[in-house]
Structure 1
Amino acid sequence: MESPATTKDTASRTQRPEGRPGYGQLLRTDGAWSFLLPGFLARQPYAMLTISIVLLVEHTTGSFGLAGAVSATAGIAMALLAPQSGKLADRFGQGAVLVPQVFLHALTIAALITVASTDAPLWSLFVAAVPAGATAPQISPMVRARWAARLQGSPLMTTAAAFESVTDEFTFVVGPVLATALCTGVHPAAGLIAEAAVSLVGGLIFAAQRRTQPASARAGDAPESARSDQARPQSALAVPGARVLVVAVLGIGMVFGGMQVSLTAFTESIGRPGINGLMYGAFAAGNMLAAVAVGAIRWKRGPQTRLLAGYPALVVAAALVAGTAQLDPWVLVLGALGTLTGLCIAPCMITSFTLIETLVPAGARTEAFTWLTGAIALGQATGSTVAGQLADRSGAGAGFLAPFAGTALALVVVLIFRKALHTPHSGLVAARGVGHRTTVTVD
């Protein structure tokens, strides 16, 4: 139970103690803009890294399969090391981890560009990709942690989570378009150079905002409840439903990775590589628009039902893209189907994050969110690798089979283990307005 002092402090931070939480009220939170703007800048490279690697390596080697495999190596390293980076930030503070990390990331990107641009052995590309991915700053979780520190149990926490989801989706609209434009219009390495520069500048500005930084465990000023939770670590993956959701978002990650490589191969096969960014941007824009709509709808069904209804729609959309790509389609037709696929992704992804919050104990939720974001990155790496191999061996259109296969297999797992997705609580969390949730009873 919150003390009167805590309640008063929370109310002062959010400007209004009562009423329906909304984006306007959220953005009036004391200190929010000091970390939101640099956080938005610093997270752009997350969506630029893998596509920039694909475009550079394909240009220097002529192989989409190799380019996808190198990109996947960086993605896997990022997925595996992200939880460790978060643990260090919790222990020593975000700034103490982020400052050396962005400098190290810039150096590893420079090394990768050097290896890719010379006659170095092909295996050295994979060696260089590991530290490039492993040192990628994890800005989005840090921003979410700052929201939690500012709001401390306020009902605006749900609104903040919705806001961050939409912001992440927008990142996947801007990042790939910018990276592709730089790689195709300026220089094949320009995308990675920009990625490193934005990581460095944005990361340093974000780290400098120390007033909004959450207290570190090393500082010894964490709340007693937080220290108690840390003393009793729990594993998020011990919850069966969490494992099912990891598989579900792994399939979603394969759509991201597979579409990146497949659209790159397709646009080059028709002699129009410059429109790759626009086509992927249309796919990502559909994803972002659907994310906004999901938060705006007042759902009458629980998240389990929505996931079981939405995931088959995603599989059907991926199948339409894969089937159409084999028929030498018009650019506009394939672009429209890509947008449709993007529209189907957001409901599944946001519902997965909503579900895991209800399934996993409070003491393991940070770990649970890290597993989901890591699974997306791993799926993206797998999708780009499979799509690249298919494009090299069977033509540009074959790469689109990777997103379909990934989502189809994930759907099978979700359907078989669907009972594990039911929350142990009597009520379910449903959206109410933009970024709101309320408890509803589902028969």
Structure 2
Amino acid sequence: MLQSRSADASLIAHAGRSYFPIALIARLPFAMMVVGVLTLVVASRDSVALGGINSAFVGIGSAVFGPMVGAAADRFGQRTVLVPVGLTNAVLLGVFPFVVQGSAPDLAVLAMAFCIGASAPQVAPMSRSRLVAIIRQRMAPDRHEKVLSGTMAYESAADEVVFIIGPFLVGLLATAIAPWVAVAGASVLTFVFVTAFALHPTGKLALAHHTDVPQAPASQLLRLRLVVVVVGILGIGFFFGSTLTSLTAFMETHGQASQAGLLYGLMGIGSAGLALGSAAFPRAFGVGWRWLVFGVVLLGGTIAFASADSVVAVAVVLAVMGIGIGPTLVAQYSLGSDRSPVGRSATTMTILGSAVIVGQSLASAVVGDVAERSGTATAMLFPAVSAGIVVLAAVVNLVLSRRRA
């Protein structure tokens, strides 16, 4: 059980020292799924388009069932929901390599990919929900704003780290051993760490928070100020998927397709660092403006990416693009947390988390098909389109905020 702590104690003291490493590793399989499925299917069935479609089915499964998992956690508690969901997902990931490498038809592979997405444990949004509950219940009111800002910065940095490290690990394992090892590894991580996360005492605290406060109507999830955040974070998902898939096609033309994940990891250098540093930004540099400014940085990097013609140039541009991603995600998740309807924090955070993987998956499918039909150069234009969506949503968000003010 959670020990009683002073209201002046740190968030780490309230949550427990084991919580943060467990929550960080537990979200890693979620980031490995889309890329792992893409890499395994491309390697086993020799089709970038088929790999992209399968990764899209992972995202569709997550989009359909992810918010339901979050809503169930809001109602019944995270432990009750996460344990069976995590075990189911671990089994499906463990079986998937046998299905892909066997004689099963493509339709069966697609069905498995959909089920993997549908059963994906929503660790990141549930972690945010738990920490917000701790801050609001256990900490002094005058500390809420500052600690919440730092927490959202950490959580976004953690997401950024795993969404970069996940593909990096997939690329590393695929290159060093075999593509199926990454999916099998995700199965093991899910079985061990998602279960540990589900059983952590903080899960009960989050449930207590929701049972004490009446839930707002589900219709409030459709408020325009929240929808624009979902659209913006969907654009980040489009960016992840289009960048990784076009990068894979680019590296394939250079005879190094399995190393795309390694190169992709370069984005994490500036991204995670600036995400963590977001808590130090001055108050005058508002969250909405951070989203717009760093979104423009991301857009500039994607335009340069589209014209890069060498591995070295692509590596440099990826590092620059990383500077724009982290602070943008921090701003979006902070706005999402602030605009979450009462009693529906897990649902809201799950919708935001699902939007990332849905965007990533759909973009992987579309860009994979474009790469095969129209070539790598055309595929490398899509990250700029994705960044454009992020910037446009940021502008709309500022307009809505001014009208509300």
Same-fold status (TM-score > 0.5)? yes
- How far did residue 77 of structure 1 move? 0.9
After the TM superposition, which residues 36-185 of structure 1 pair with which residues of structure 2 at under 5 Å, given as runs? 36-153=20-137, 154=139, 155=144, 156-185=147-176
Q: Secondary structure at the match of 1:262?
A: helix
Q: Secondary structure at the match of 1:89?
A: helix
| Runs of 5+ unmatched residues, structure 1 | 1-8, 16-24, 427-443
User: Which residue is 1:12 aligned to?
Assistant: 6
- How far did residue 259 of structure 1 move? 1.6
Q: Secondary structure at the match of 2:204?
A: coil
User: Which residue is 1:387 aligned to?
Assistant: 367
Give 2:184's aligned amino acid: I
Cα distance, 1:118–1:95 mapped onto 2, change above 3 Å:
same
- How far did residue 365 of structure 1 move? 4.4
| Runs of 5+ unmatched residues, structure 2 | none
Q: Secondary structure at the match of 2:14?
A: coil
Cα distance, 1:386–1:285 mapped onto 2, change above 3 Å:
farther
Within 2, Cα distance between the matches of 1:93 and 1:417? 32
Find out whether 1:229 has 2:219 as its counterpart. Answer: no
Q: Secondary structure at the match of 1:119?
A: coil
What RMSD in Å do the two structures reach over aligned CA positions? Answer: 2.5
Give 2:203's aligned amino acid: Q
Within 1, Cα distance between the matches of 2:331 and 2:351? 15
After the TM superposition, which residues 270-419 of structure 1 pair with which residues of structure 2 at under 5 Å, given as runs? 270-324=254-308, 329-412=309-392, 414-415=394-395, 418-419=398-399
Identity over aligned pairs, percent: 29
- How far did residue 46 of structure 1 move? 1.3
Within 1, Cα distance between the matches of 2:288 and 2:136? 28
Within 2, Cα distance between the matches of 1:416 and 1:242? 12
- How far did residue 272 of structure 1 move? 2.4
Cα distance, 1:80–1:150 mapped onto 2, change above 3 Å:
same
Within 2, Cα distance between the matches of 1:75 and 1:129? 9
- How far did residue 317 of structure 1 move? 1.6
Which range moved further: 392-401 or 240-249?
392-401
**Number of positions where the alignment pairs a residue of Structure 1 with one of Structure 2:** 396
The counterpart of 1:214, out of the listed 200, 204, 208, is: 204
Q: Secondary structure at the match of 2:125?
A: helix
After the TM superposition, which residues 241-256 of structure 1 pair with which residues of structure 2 at under 5 Å, given as runs? 241-256=225-240
Larger Rg: 1
* Alpha carbons 1:294, 1:347 under 8 Å: kept: yes
- How far did residue 104 of structure 1 move? 1.0
* Alpha carbons 2:239, 2:387 under 8 Å: kept: yes
Q: Spell out, residue by residue over 1:349-376, the C-alpha distance to the aligned partner (whole angstroms, 9 max, x if none).
A: 2222223344455445443333222221
* Alpha carbons 2:55, 2:361 under 8 Å: kept: yes
User: Which residue is 1:26 aligned to?
Assistant: 11
Cα distance, 1:309–1:37 mapped onto 2, change above 3 Å:
closer
Q: Spell out, residue by residue over 1:221-257, the C-alpha distance to the aligned partner (whole angstroms, 9 max, x if none).
A: x46x854422x42434432122222221111111111
Q: Secondary structure at the match of 1:179?
A: helix
Give the TM-score normalised by structure 1.
0.82
Q: Secondary structure at the match of 1:120?
A: coil
Within 1, Cα distance between the matches of 2:393 and 2:70? 29
Q: Spell out, residue by residue over 1:119-170, the C-alpha distance to the aligned partner (whole angstroms, 9 max, x if none).
A: 2221222111111111111112232233234333432333322222222222
Which range moved further: 362-371 or 178-187?
362-371
Cα distance, 1:408–1:197 mapped onto 2, change above 3 Å:
same
Which range moved further: 164-173 or 297-306?
297-306
Cα distance, 1:423–1:342 mapped onto 2, change above 3 Å:
farther
Give 1:229's aligned amino acid: P
Give the TM-score normalised by structure 2.
0.89
RCO greater where, 1 or 2, for CA within 8 Å and sep 6 or more? 2
User: Which residue is 1:429 aligned to?
Assistant: none
The structure that is helix-richer by fraction is 2
* Alpha carbons 2:175, 2:259 under 8 Å: kept: no
- How far did residue 414 of structure 1 move? 4.7
- How far did residue 267 of structure 1 move? 1.8
Cα distance, 1:267–1:151 mapped onto 2, change above 3 Å:
same
Within 2, Cα distance between the matches of 1:414 and 1:260? 23
